[in-house]
Amino acid sequence: MKKYLVYTILIVLGALIVSIILGDIIKNDINKKNPYAYNLEDFKKIDPSLIKYREVKRINVSFSGPKAFDYHEGLFCIAYENHLQVIDTTGQEYFNKSIDDPITSISFAPNGNIFLGCKNHIKIYNLNGDLVDKWDIIDSSAYITSIAFKEDVMFIADAGGSQIHRFSLTGEKLNSFDGTVRIDSDIGFIVPSPYFDIAVDPHNQLWVANTGLQSIENYTDDGVFRSNWGEPSFTLEGFIGCCNPAQFSILSNGSFVTCEKGIVRIKIYGPSGELESVVASPSDFNPDSEPADLAVDEKDCIYALDISRKMIRKFERKKS
């Protein structure tokens, strides 16, 4: 009987010792500092002195699931999944209407017409909400993510084909290019997700967000690479993670306004790509927010479509 009791005590003690040892190992593994690990929260912190803009206005949008928007002469056109809406800067509605096709991008033309990218084709509406024209399918695999205008031509960013298409304003296709015409390599556009933005600067030059390379690139109308700026980096000066900058616009002095996905933040870069200031920090958005679509007005005020909060937010540069 005593022998049985001794064995029982030894077994219990052994199990207790093993439990303690394993517990220490697991605890040490959890607490052990990984020299290669990083904390994304650290990269969300921004020096307040770099934030040179202030939010001055919010305009709630009427429908759920806003996807993209644009600004033109005091008006916003807003794209939802299957809905088009036009409002002014007070939120007063001009019209809204259902669209048969899914909307993947939206832009005002210089004459005020609204160009909708509907996955692989274009629909054009006037400010009365009338369908003016519908263009043929660009390509069956096309996925239109952005439209930009230059004088009498327009550029269409196609994330599905990783290409830029150039069209006349009457719908005649002029050319396409994939970003491979460059001196140092033929890597071209890398578009891992449906974020592929374009814009034309005040000098009528085309800029393309090559999101897989975390770079904004300048091209001729024929698709010849000119220059670029931007780099992948965990510093504020660079772009974190994949597919950035997800959205961008250009101010009247040629500076760039960018918004990133993942860690959502809006920044200003000079015409040569040097970080100039911050418009909105990650703390200004919901933690799971999608990147905000961007637009600028005649006074270089910045508008951001906050998708998760269903609002258009206006930012002005601080006076001091």
CATH of the domain at 112: 2.120.10.30
Does any domain span residue 173? yes
- Asked whether the whole model's pTM tops 0.85, one would answer yes
5 within domain boundaries: no
- Checking if the pLDDT of 194 tops 80, the result is yes
Q: Is 25 among the domain residues?
A: no
| DSSP state letter for 49 | G
Say if CB 260 and CB 238 are below 8 A apart.
Answer: no
In the chain, the amino acid numbered 166 is R
CA–CA distance, 115 with 148 (Å, rounded to integer): 10
Q: Could you tell me if 234 and 261 are in contact, meaning their C-beta atoms sit under 8 angstroms apart?
A: no
Query: Cα(263)–Cα(2) distance, rounded to whole angstroms?
Result: 66
Domain membership of residue 199 (yes or no) is: yes
CA–CA separation, 178 and 166 (whole Å): 12
User: 167: Cβ–Cβ under 8 A, 6 or more apart, which residues?
Assistant: 135, 153, 154, 155, 156, 173, 174
Tell whether 248 is covered by a domain: yes
CB 88 within 8 A of CB 74: yes
Region of residue 73 (phi > 0: left; psi between -120 and 50: alpha; otherwise: beta): left
Compare 4 and 115 and report the one with higher pLDDT.
115
Q: Residue 96's pLDDT is what?
A: 96
Question: Distance (Å, rounded) from C-alpha 69 to C-alpha 76?
Answer: 7
3-state secondary structure 63-79: CCCCCEEEEECCEEEEE
- Domain assignment present for residue 307? The answer is yes
Range 230-235 contact pairs with CB under 8 angstroms and sequence separation of 24 or more = 230/273, 234/38, 234/43
pLDDT, tens only, 46-91: 999 999 999 999 999 989 899 999 999 999 999 999 999 999 999 9
| Tokens of residue 182, six digits | 């460059």
Mean of the pLDDT values across residues 193-218?
97
- Are 167 and 175 in contact, with CB atoms under 8 Å apart? no
Alpha-carbon radius of gyration of the chain: 25
d(CA 187, CA 287): 33
Looking at the domain assignment, is residue 120 inside a domain?
yes
Q: What separation, in Å, do the N-terminal and C-terminal C-alpha atoms of the chain show? A: 88
Could you tell me what percent of the chain has a pLDDT over 70? Answer: 86
Name the residue range of residue 232's domain: 47-317
Residue at token pair 């996905």: 261
- Composition of the chain by helix, strand, coil, percent to 5: 15, 40, 45
DSSP H or E stretch at residue 165: strand 163-168
Phi-psi sector, 30: left (phi>0), alpha (psi -120 to 50), beta: alpha
Partner residues linked to 115 by β-bridges: 107, 124
Pairing mode, strands 83-88 and 75-79: antiparallel
Question: Backbone phi, then psi, for 231, in 5-degree steps?
Answer: -160, 155
Query: Could you report the per-residue pLDDT of 21-58, keeping only the tens digit for each?
Result: 334 433 444 344 444 444 566 667 899 999 999 999 99
Answer yes or no: is pLDDT of 241 > 50. Answer: yes
Residue 23 included in any domain:
no
Over residues 284-289, the mean pLDDT reads 95
Query: In whole angstroms, what is the distance from residue 304 CA to residue 199 CA?
Result: 16
Q: Which tokens belong to 207? A: 């800029």
Stretch 145-167: mean pLDDT? 97
Examine the pLDDT at 10 and tell me if it is beyond 80: no
Provide the domain count of the chain: 1
